[in-house]
Amino acid sequence: MPQLAIAKEFLAEYAALEKPVRERVTQVFAKFEQATHTGLHLEKINHARDDRFRTIRVDQFWRGVVLAPRNGDTYTLMKVLPHDDAYAWAGRRRASVNSVTGGIEVRDVDTIDSTLPHLERVAEHVPTRLFEDVKDADLRRLGVDEQTLGFARTLTDVFQLEAARGLLPAVQWEVLYGLAAGLTPEQVWEEMGAAIVEGEVDPEDLDAAVRRSPDRVLLVEGPEELTAALESPFDLWRIYLHPAQRAVVEASYGGPARVSGGPGTGKTVVALHRAQRLAERGEGEVLLTTFTSTLATALEAQLRLLVESRSENPEEVLGRIRVEHVDRLAHRVFREEHGQPDLLDPARERALWQEVVAGLGVDLSPSFLAQEWRQVVLTRRVEDAQAYLEAKRTGRGRGLNAARKAQVWQAVHSFRNLLGERGLWTHETVSEEAARILAGRAEKPFRHVVVDEAQDLHAGQWRLLRAAAAEAGDDLFVAGDTHQRVYGPKVSLAEVGVNIRGRSSKLRINYRTTAQILGWSLGLVLGEPVDDMDGGLDSIAGCRSEIRGEKPVLHGAATWEAELGYLKETVGSWAEAGVLPDEIGVAARSKRAVEQAVLALEEAGLPARSLAKGQAVGSVPVGTMHRMKGLEFRCLAVVGVGGEQLPAPRSVTPEEEDPGAHARDLLRERSLLFVACTRAREQLSVSWHRSPSPFLEAVLDR
């Protein structure tokens, strides 16, 4: 019986077809499997470069282009186009089998042949070639075949490669793009890892090749699955994983494992798929957790979509996964033993530190002590004066002599005593206590723990998660990007009992943002020393996007009013171009700026809402940079990126008070801007008034 497969690109294009055509496509292909081989009416194309491309009639005007193997029964729907375009598209192309992945690939042979002489002429006048440092042998080993190799050798810059995206076989193009982005052949090989097929590949066996290409082609089992796939073309993440993503989703790890990667590389997608996978195994409960309640709510909704569309027994699978943000888990466990905690808010905590300082008569600042308590005493679980004397104070800047340390310890000790005597708690101590409770229980609540936005968790939360599942294979899985840390302090996973050595993977292809916006945004953090939570430094080199678009638009205004005027124009022009209000986002550093931006937009007749006030469909969401986490927008305006607003003066510890905290605060402010800017999918506007923020220095002219 013929089996229908759909090329990933077509799923995205289907939505753009007019409704009657869409309906006809569904009708024609829903019957596909019932049709006998002879009843399929696949038309041959005269003078085609590859006679395995055929057309199928959709209606009088439209034709589907189908790739039909010589042997085998898998037919891949590639395109639906007007009659003449369909014939032209199919006539120019050739299908082949990638020698490394064994997957299906299609190239535009006609255009490659006709472009080559022009590229060769250009190359004669340019002294260097794009891939001159890469050996032919390496390119071949990575599956670049002779035609693509000849083409690649004529390229002189990355823009030519980008322009050739639709011409070259996709996997081979990705290999070249990775090399052009600065990856070594070994790194590219590693990235292909999961897709590499073992044994010989038969270059003629298209049927096997299609079946080996789950990242590019969806095999459709019956009309219902066809309708479901066609109806949600924008949720491609649910269906197609990049081989590098799939490898992480499907792996069995001997212990805790981690996936990292720049913004938009699909870490959350991987975490969701992995949670589903682990639940399907049926070995026990899965905890899917993250940093904030808003993010947890979003995860839960996405998980439901994924499981409902991809699991055979969705309710059972969902029943095995608990989605809960980490503080909520901490409080739940805490309450089981102690009831509701009396929580210190920041103002009460400051007052308590002041009380300690006054009581002891020492000249130590409450904010210094609070940071020392969190980052050294709590993080390292320091229990007595001797341990504090010996504790590493990495990142705390100013060294303390023994006498000073004794004073600090005395203050911390008094503070802890006060907490104990008065029955007071902070979120950190609640986590620590919950961790202690779970560590003491023989029965752990979860078999697997999956953590998203891992970079923002503090040590107590890590200890809690460590204690929430017994040590075993596939116990903990963490996804995060330390360049996006905007809340928590630096944590070394090894120090909190989470050993990921040898079980760490990196994603590098961004699916959200255009190459222009991503490249510009990466400039905000490049060169900043950012830890990798595992004793080393993280790098976002090689993080790249394959989507082309416009450069970010930068604008400096004279005053805040003028900047808001510019915002109104920008948002107005996006709305006029047909972008829906919900697809537009506005980010600012402070709550006040958010409120003023909402007012300004409303004044201009553009419905807007503050994200802090929750959902309101049909208006432009405006939020602080902190709230931008986990969101994405087609068009995004980041406002108030001025020298007086970013870094936010009140959020940065003065250098003279504590140089370590100062540097860390500055990096956090920089990361905030980075997080905000990387939420934009198609258009990014960045504006300021008076002087630009110092963080923009490196990227102002790009």
Ligand X SMILES: Nc1ncnc2c1ncn2[C@@H]1O[C@H](COP(=O)(O)OP(=O)(O)OP(=O)(O)O)[C@@H](O)[C@H]1O
Annotated binding site for ATP: 261-268
Can you give the C-alpha Rg of the chain in angstroms? 28
Rounded least distance, CB 544 to ligand X, Å = 13
CA distances from 98 to 80, 123, 319 (A): 25, 27, 40
Toward ligand X, which CB reaches closer, 264 or 542?
A: 264
Beta carbons within 8 Å of 418's beta carbon, 6+ residues apart? 352, 355, 356, 424
Toward ligand X, which CB reaches closer, 13 or 59?
A: 13
Toward ligand X, which CB reaches closer, 191 or 481?
A: 481
Both tokens of 418, joined, read 């006060």
Both tokens of 475, joined, read 């116990």
Report CA torsion sign: 204, 208, 210, 213: negative
Toward ligand X, which CB reaches closer, 264 or 640?
A: 264
Q: Rounded to an integer, what is the distance from CA 611 to the centroid of its chain?
A: 21
Rounded least distance, CB 275 to ligand X, Å = 13
Of 575, 577, 598, the C-alpha closest to 586 is 598
Give DSSP secondary structure letters for 342-390: EEPPHHHHHHHHHHHHHHHT----HHHHHHHIIIIIITTT--SHHHHHH
Toward ligand X, which CB reaches closer, 341 or 480?
A: 480
CB 670 within 8 Å of CB 613: no
Provide the phi-psi class of 381: left if phi over 0, else alpha when psi is between -120 and 50, else beta: left
Toward ligand X, which CB reaches closer, 151 or 173?
A: 173
Rounded least distance, CB 253 to ligand X, Å = 19
Both tokens of 160, joined, read 């030519």
HSE-up (13 A, CA, CB side) for residue 353: 21
Report the C-alpha gap between 470 and 626 in whole angstroms: 33
Instruction: Read off the DSSP letter of residue 225.
Output: H
Toward ligand X, which CB reaches closer, 240 or 487?
A: 240
Toward ligand X, which CB reaches closer, 152 or 540?
A: 540
Rounded least distance, CB 583 to ligand X, Å = 13
Helix axes 293-310, 267-281, angle to 10 degrees: 60
Rounded least distance, CB 408 to ligand X, Å = 36
Rounded least distance, CB 296 to ligand X, Å = 14
Rounded least distance, CB 151 to ligand X, Å = 26
Rounded least distance, CB 507 to ligand X, Å = 7
Both tokens of 634, joined, read 């087609």
Of 671, 645, 635, the C-alpha closest to 592 is 645
Toward ligand X, which CB reaches closer, 39 or 234?
A: 234
Of 622, 630, 556, 546, the C-alpha closest to 590 is 622
Of 598, 575, 580, 577, the C-alpha closest to 588 is 598
Beta carbons within 8 Å of 337's beta carbon, 6+ residues apart? 437
CB 4 within 8 Å of CB 34: no
Rounded least distance, CB 632 to ligand X, Å = 6
3-state SS track over 593-611:
HHHHHHHHHHHCCCCEEEH
Rounded least distance, CB 626 to ligand X, Å = 13
Report the C-alpha gap between 539 and 542 in whole angstroms: 9
CA distances from 85 to 29, 403, 415 (A): 20, 82, 75
Report the C-alpha gap between 156 and 123 in whole angstroms: 6
CA distances from 350 to 369, 690, 696 (A): 10, 34, 34
Binding residues: 261-268
Report CA torsion sign: 606, 611, 612, 616: positive
- Applying CB under 6 A, the residues found at the interface with ligand X are 236-237, 240-242, 245, 261, 263-269, 481, 484, 511-512, 630, 632, 678
Toward ligand X, which CB reaches closer, 305 or 360?
A: 305
Rounded least distance, CB 691 to ligand X, Å = 28
Toward ligand X, which CB reaches closer, 107 or 246?
A: 246
Rounded least distance, CB 264 to ligand X, Å = 4
Toward ligand X, which CB reaches closer, 242 or 664?
A: 242
